[in-house]
Structure 1
Amino acid sequence: MRSLILALVFASTAVAAQDEPTRTLITNVNVFDGVSDRLIEGASVMIEDNLISAVSIDPIDAEGAMVIDGGGRTMTPGFIDAHVHLTLQVNYAELAALDEYYFAFTQADQAEKMLLRGFTTARDAGGNVYSLMRAINEGLVNGPRLYVSGGTIGQSGGHGDYRLPNDPPRLIATQAPWAVRQGHSAVIDGPDQALSAAREQLRKGSTQLKLFTGGGVASPTDPLDVVEMTPEEVRAVVQAAENWNTYVMSHVYNTRGIRLAVENGVKSIEHANFIDEETLDIVIENDAWLSVQALVFVNTPAGMSPEVQDRFKQALAGLDSMFSLAKEKGFKKLAFGTDVIGDPALLARQNEEFSLRTRWFEPAEILRQATSGNAELMALSGPRNPYPEKLGVIEEGAYADLILIDGNPLEDIDVLVDYDENFDLIMKDGVIYKNTLN
């Protein structure tokens, strides 16, 4: 009996110990909190389990905590990329020849590399990454928190229709194209098919939906000036998302397609390179976001046809006007994204997006775009948000997604480009994934 009682006592003590929060105290850091344009100098940050419990310039009780001396480094929130494609990081020529197993291996590889570049959260803007999100959340693989759009929704002959020229028309085809079969896209014609496609992505676990209302730079069939989908088709997708208490994002460059999207309820416009002031006013009136990129247009992919290269030049030409207009209008709902597809080498340069934006914005503005700003955009997914605590900020109650940087990005944002050299500690969800301090 005595041995049984002792066993029960030891068991209850072990359970109690497991229930106690894991504490990590990081001292002697200068904190960019995700909002302010000044650092909180000489601060300490306490992490309990996966959340920040205190940020203070006064001493914090370190009892029971692992203590890390930040050595005067800059601490920032983990970065958020609002437009990535983890599925499609293979050569364009191979896309149609690969099965879902190979895509899964490349996804996992790219996810870990993205995390080690300091991106602790990413919104995947199209592709079948549902299992990747689950695997990351369960700790099976390393990677950023993912907001998943799932299969992109577009019309026949539009952006996202990956059929080859010799593929049969949809009306007589006996099998869906490879991208549809593997869940990377959904090709629709008519509001009924749009509604069905939207519901399918929500059924699989999408946190938001992605559609196309204009042509694309790398599309085989649709020029940049065309408008895609009808108002009825767009409204069907938006209605499905709203019924699930989330939102829709739309790929589009031209003004007509932007207006089609926002006037029918789309809340996030991807790219928008050709936007004009009148159309931006409509975006503002409809309380929508512009999710924009520089890196992908500054670096035209090699091996593309002359037609595609010309489209990249058109998009690049519109970049300065779009960014300048947003700056002039004081437009704050401007997301930070990269949108690299089919070019792992370029994706490895993801952090160059920070430097490229200095042509239009101050470092503090860019850092806010990549942290608290993007976090506000992620939160539009409402109840579908798998990460309900605060993201993109360093404050009490926020997720412990942190980077310790050798240098001050508010003075020299270029320190973020050489992430391998300058990022000395990367933490996501209270777990340290890189630490070169000790």
Structure 2
Amino acid sequence: MIIRNVRLFDGVADQPQDNVDVLTEGSHVVAVSTSPVAGDASDGVVEIDGKGKFLMPGLSDAHVHLMGNANSMVDFLQGPTGSLYGNTIAEAKRMLLRGFTTVRDMGGDTAPVKGLIDRGVFEGPRIFPSQAMISQTSGHADFAFVYDVPEEFGGKPSRTEDIHFTRIADGVPRVLAAVREQLRMGASQIKLTLGGGAASMYDPLNTLQYTSDEIKAAVQAATDYGTYVATHVYTPAGIARAIDAGVKSIEHGHLADEATIHLIADNQIWLSMQPFAEDDHHYPDPVRAGKNAEICHGTDQVYAWAKKYGVKTAWGTDLLLEPQSAPRQSVMAARLGEFYTNVEALKMLTSGNASLFELAGERNTYRGGKLGVIAEGAWADMILVDGDPIKDISLIADPDANFQLIVKNGQIVKNTL
């Protein structure tokens, strides 16, 4: 396939390049040239006239819950298991049609879905699965009812554990087993919850979850498999404990103070942030709504400190349990332009996130090409935009109207040219 005459943003350079031809063969980009690339339709070459429009790498999301995006809490607790996966597969295609060609899933049984997508059975983004979120009893990923007896005392796993959305593990031996279980199931990285959250029922935001020994055990087990641990955590104390234990990615961090952001920078840890607004999530009870508001109010300051200290910052959404809100993924991507220049935001949404994904090492099943860029040898994941997002990043908030061509793995997913 040859996409001719495009204004190319390659995911890395500050300035796009005009009059570019991009040649793909199979699933990879094989040439990027300002001279016309030769092609012959009789040899099966597909030629697309880009008409000078803006070509960029496919978008990525560093913190999705694909199964959580596609299903409500009622679905999780009462719905048939088959429906959960069917909804997840349907949402995967919708996410791809929003231009997201790669995602890092931070909790949910998505390794089987990833396998089906990678084999071409269904359409969807490339997935870096974490499998079940690992949590202590009463922690952020404990979705058992308050009257349920914990497994430690002879109780049964909760429904969310049965469907591999969460795993409760207390004490070093169980944490080791939980990490190894997720790796056995196909996790490319491990997700631990180390503090309170807005969506969870039992834990105030200021709680510290998991002891240092438990976190270090998880890090050791992940490291032995050649990968890393990412942690849900908001507070300075929780972040400091995570860093001390060897965690490589802080998920959220909205309640951090300046000294903690400086500490993240000094240790070269990733900060996987979300530009939350209060209406991104809807919590009917005042306790969780209050926690959500507190988290959102920290966003501006943490982004400012992250820029000040040069923190390696990734972008994600963390939309969860409200399927009707899933399209806000595109709105939140555009919102990144409120905190960074448009080109900085586009880099984070493409090559920046991809650098975080590469921490998965040999657990990264997409090592056969470069993600997040348009360059020779890269995976052929691209979007042709009607307009220039460097000038107006709000264009990516409406992919239905503005993404005229979406290519993933060298295959045309959408073409309205």
Q: 2:318 aligns with which of 303, 322, 339?
A: 339
Matching of residues 81-120 of structure 1 within 5 Å: 81-88=61-68, 89-120=70-101
Does residue 80 of the first structure (1) align with residue 57 of the second (2)?
no
- Residue type at the aligned position of 1:126: G
Question: Which runs of no fewer than 5 residues in structure 2 stay unpaired?
Answer: none
Is the 1:215–1:223 Cα contact (8 Å) retained in structure 2? yes
Match of 1:6 in 2: none
Matching of residues 383-422 of structure 1 within 5 Å: 383-388=362-367, 389-422=369-402
Shift of 1:30: 0.3
- Residue type at the aligned position of 2:271: L
Match of 2:19 in 1: 42
Q: 1:218 aligns with which of 189, 199, 218?
A: 199
Match of 2:48 in 1: 68
- SS of 1:87's equivalent? helix
Q: 1:306 aligns with which of 280, 283, 286?
A: 286
Is the 2:149–2:156 Cα contact (8 Å) retained in structure 1? no
Question: Which runs of no fewer than 5 residues in structure 1 stay unpaired?
Answer: 1-23
- Residue type at the aligned position of 2:359: L
- SS of 1:81's equivalent? strand
Aligned pair in 2 of structure 1 residues 174, 221: CA closer, same or farther (>3 Å)?
A: closer
Q: 2 CA distance for matches of 1:185 and 1:162?
A: 8
Aligned pair in 2 of structure 1 residues 339, 204: CA closer, same or farther (>3 Å)?
A: same
Does residue 279 of the first structure (1) align with residue 251 of the second (2)?
no
Percent identity of equivalent pairs: 39
Q: 1 CA distance for matches of 2:385 and 2:333?
A: 14
Q: 1:154 aligns with which of 131, 135, 138?
A: 135
- Residue type at the aligned position of 1:192: P
Is the 2:236–2:257 Cα contact (8 Å) retained in structure 1? yes
Q: 2 CA distance for matches of 1:248 and 1:320?
A: 26
- Residue type at the aligned position of 2:413: Y
TM-score normalised to the size of structure 1? 0.92
Q: 2:208 aligns with which of 218, 227, 250?
A: 227
Q: 2 CA distance for matches of 1:397 and 1:312?
A: 42
Is the 1:327–1:360 Cα contact (8 Å) retained in structure 2? no
Match of 1:199 in 2: 180
**How many residue pairs were aligned?**
412
Match of 1:7 in 2: none
Is the 1:300–1:309 Cα contact (8 Å) retained in structure 2? no
Is the 2:135–2:193 Cα contact (8 Å) retained in structure 1? yes
Q: 1 CA distance for matches of 2:415 and 2:334?
A: 24
- CA offset digits 1:325-367 (Å, max 9, x no partner): 1122233x11010110011222112111233222221000000
Match of 1:372 in 2: 351
Shift of 1:262: 1.4
Is the 1:253–1:275 Cα contact (8 Å) retained in structure 2? yes
- Residue type at the aligned position of 2:324: A
- Residue type at the aligned position of 2:316: G
Q: 1 CA distance for matches of 2:118 and 2:333?
A: 27
Is the 2:227–2:359 Cα contact (8 Å) retained in structure 1? yes
Q: 1 CA distance for matches of 2:384 and 2:81?
A: 36
Q: 1 CA distance for matches of 2:410 and 2:152?
A: 52
Q: 2 CA distance for matches of 1:106 and 1:264?
A: 37
Match of 1:428 in 2: 408
Match of 1:270 in 2: 251
Q: 1 CA distance for matches of 2:282 and 2:359?
A: 36
Shift of 1:303: 4.8
* Cα RMSD for the two superposed structures: 1.2
Is the 1:263–1:286 Cα contact (8 Å) retained in structure 2? no
TM-score normalised to the size of structure 2? 0.97
Q: 1 CA distance for matches of 2:61 and 2:150?
A: 36
Matching of residues 53-64 of structure 1 within 5 Å: 53-63=30-40, 64=43
- Residue type at the aligned position of 1:376: S
Would you identify which runs of 4 or more consecutive aligned residues in structure 1 move more than 6 Å? Answer: none
Q: 1:183 aligns with which of 158, 164, 168?
A: 164
Match of 1:321 in 2: 301
Shift of 1:300: 4.8
- CA offset digits 1:133-167 (Å, max 9, x no partner): 11101111110000000011110000101011221
